[in-house]
Structure 1
Amino acid sequence: MPELRILPVGYLRLTGLGLTLLAGCQLRAEEGKGPSLPAKTVVAASAAVPAAVAAPDSLALTPVLPVAGVSGPLQQAIRRLHADLGPAAAELRPEVLAQACVGYLTLYRAARIERAGLLAVADMDLPNTTPRLWVLDLKKRKVLHRSLVAHGRGSGKRRARRFSNARKSACTSLGFYRTAGTYEGIHGYSRRLNGLDPGQNSNAYDRYVVLHAASYAAAKYVQQHGQLGYSRGCPALPPEQFKAIIGTVQTGSLLLISGPGLQSRWLDGAAAARQFARQGWN
């Protein structure tokens, strides 16, 4: 008989053979309609889930390299934007904001996103005890929302250190995302995400990586446990903020999930500079 271990899971579903473990953020919406039980700790065979070797959790941030090819006028515009966003964006690193702005301009020029002037950015290199998601109005130079956001269980502890596009990895995926439609799923009101970076987040839609609420993504959870809990790869949001955030990043908006190792064809500084010279943030 295999050794038994206690494993936390997001939820359970009854089947003819008993209880079946289901992956929280990776469950398809249509599968959530069957009978379910509340989240709890269950006993599972250790042979079924290999134990991961945890590395020491460092809080030292990883340097972000400048985006190549960004013109002087665009660099100045991004610096002015960061300054105008004020104290609410003080912890949004300028280099990460530059990544997000370049991607926004490049993707808008390529007609891969439709919502002009709206940009959401999550810096997953920051510890999950820090509100590390910002939703920005580029035209009004205003922070619309700032919140905590959880990363995937496979990505690390307080900081996300490992990223994967693979199914069942339980990892956060880096890259640019286009927001899609909303639905009522196992986590309630949720918004779908389309990954725009092949090899980095292109499986997000099939993995059901979505914006949704989670009690483990709240400040109260940090007060009780010293850090946020983990998703199965979704950028999970605090229950008190998720509706407002999901309502703001309507279909066709851009979300960047940044972190160590981010690579993207959309980080094209020259194309972004041409778009900015033509239309600004519009």
Structure 2
Amino acid sequence: MLRVTLTSLALGLLSFTSPVATSNDFASETALEISETALTRNATITFAEKQAAFDDHLLSIYNEAELKSKGLSYEVYQKAMIGFHNFKQKGLVSPAKSVLTVIDFTKSSREKRLWIIDLNAKKILFNTVVAHGRNTGQDKAVKFSNTPNSYMSSLGFYLTDATYFGKHGLSLRLSGKDNDFNSNAMARAIVMHGADYATPAFARQHGRLGRSLGCPAVPQELSKDIIMAIKDKTVMYIHGNDKKYSSDYLNSTLAIEAFAHEAFESTVATL
């Protein structure tokens, strides 16, 4: 929807330029003028139109990746996507990857509550179980903390960092980006790693997954592939039941404007 609107506006700007280019230099200058003027005209698109296009974009990925059938609620997915676009707008995410990790700690640990989504391909890369912290709860995660030695999970948005080899083998450092909620992740050594207690078989035997010291632990047999897929500045969103949780990255207005600007530039570049 937005792409159609933007294309129409950009093409309409051609009427303001000379129909004949007498040299390569003139053609280049004309193209630049069209691009600059078109970007200025972006302001004429209403916010309601931008929001509708953003919603269409989110629904397209949600439906094509069949996320509903895989247990990811649209509400949680929408929050994660708003954060993703705000991270992207700030230039914080890797330009080489368009991968989003979502963890929903409102679900039972026996359920597959981790989703890794390739946003460009509109498909799920991984959907599996993930453990929460020892003091966060039994089967369900009910308490969260940003405090060192709390052995609790922390909610919010993270950027994945570099890998290293530790006591759990290949592990992935996580940089918490929400003040008061996960900003101590690095200092607390909150990382993604594999664990033999984070498997469906363990959950069937014990009625729940085993628990970590606060890390989002995943099945050992999947951990390497998961870590390699999301390492180096991709977005992770951990959702929970804490009503006090808030984040600057959940600003939907900024996310919509960032998406509209990116879509407009992409459209103009193809003219």
Q: TM-score range by the shorter chain?
A: 0.7 to 0.9
Q: Tell me the number of residue pairs that the alignment of Structure 1 and Structure 2 aligns.
A: 212
Q: Check whether the contact 1:82–1:89 (CA below 8 A) recurs between aligned residues.
A: no
d(CA) in 2 for partners of 1:241 and 1:270? 36
Q: Check whether the contact 1:119–1:138 (CA below 8 A) recurs between aligned residues.
A: yes
State the Cα distance separating 1:195 from its structure 2 match: 0.3
State the Cα distance separating 1:196 from its structure 2 match: 0.5
* Structure 2 counterpart SS, 1:221: helix
- Of the three residues 95, 98, 110, the one matched with 2:78 is 98
- Of the three residues 55, 68, 89, the one matched with 1:109 is 89
| CA displacement 1:184-228 (0-9 Å, x = unmatched) | 101111000000001100000010000001111011101211110
Aligned-residue RMSD, C-alpha: 1.6
State the Cα distance separating 1:72 from its structure 2 match: 2.3
d(CA) in 2 for partners of 1:87 and 1:199? 30
Alpha carbons of structure 1 residues 249 and 87: separation in structure 2 relative to 1, 3 Å? closer
d(CA) in 1 for partners of 2:94 and 2:120? 15
Alpha carbons of structure 1 residues 161 and 104: separation in structure 2 relative to 1, 3 Å? same
State the Cα distance separating 1:77 from its structure 2 match: 1.8
Aligned residue number for residue 174 of structure 1: 155
For the pair shown, the structure with the greater C-alpha radius of gyration is: 2
* Structure 2 counterpart SS, 1:95: helix
d(CA) in 1 for partners of 2:52 and 2:104? 24
| CA displacement 1:157-179 (0-9 Å, x = unmatched) | 11111111001111100010011
Aligned residue number for residue 72 of structure 1: 52
- Of the three residues 252, 264, 269, the one matched with 1:269 is 252
Q: Residues 45-64 of structure 1: matches in 2 within 5 Å?
A: none
* Structure 1 counterpart SS, 2:93: coil
- The structure that is helix-richer by fraction is 2
d(CA) in 2 for partners of 1:132 and 1:86? 15
d(CA) in 2 for partners of 1:112 and 1:199? 20
* Structure 2 counterpart SS, 1:90: coil
| CA displacement 1:207-265 (0-9 Å, x = unmatched) | 00000011110111012111101001000010111111001002011111111223111
Q: TM-score, normalised by structure 1?
A: 0.72
d(CA) in 1 for partners of 2:73 and 2:55? 14
State the Cα distance separating 1:76 from its structure 2 match: 2.3
**Pair 1:219-2:200 in alignment:** yes
d(CA) in 1 for partners of 2:161 and 2:69? 26
Q: TM-score, normalised by structure 2?
A: 0.75
Provide structure 1 residue ranges, at least 5 long, that are not aligned to the other structure: 1-69
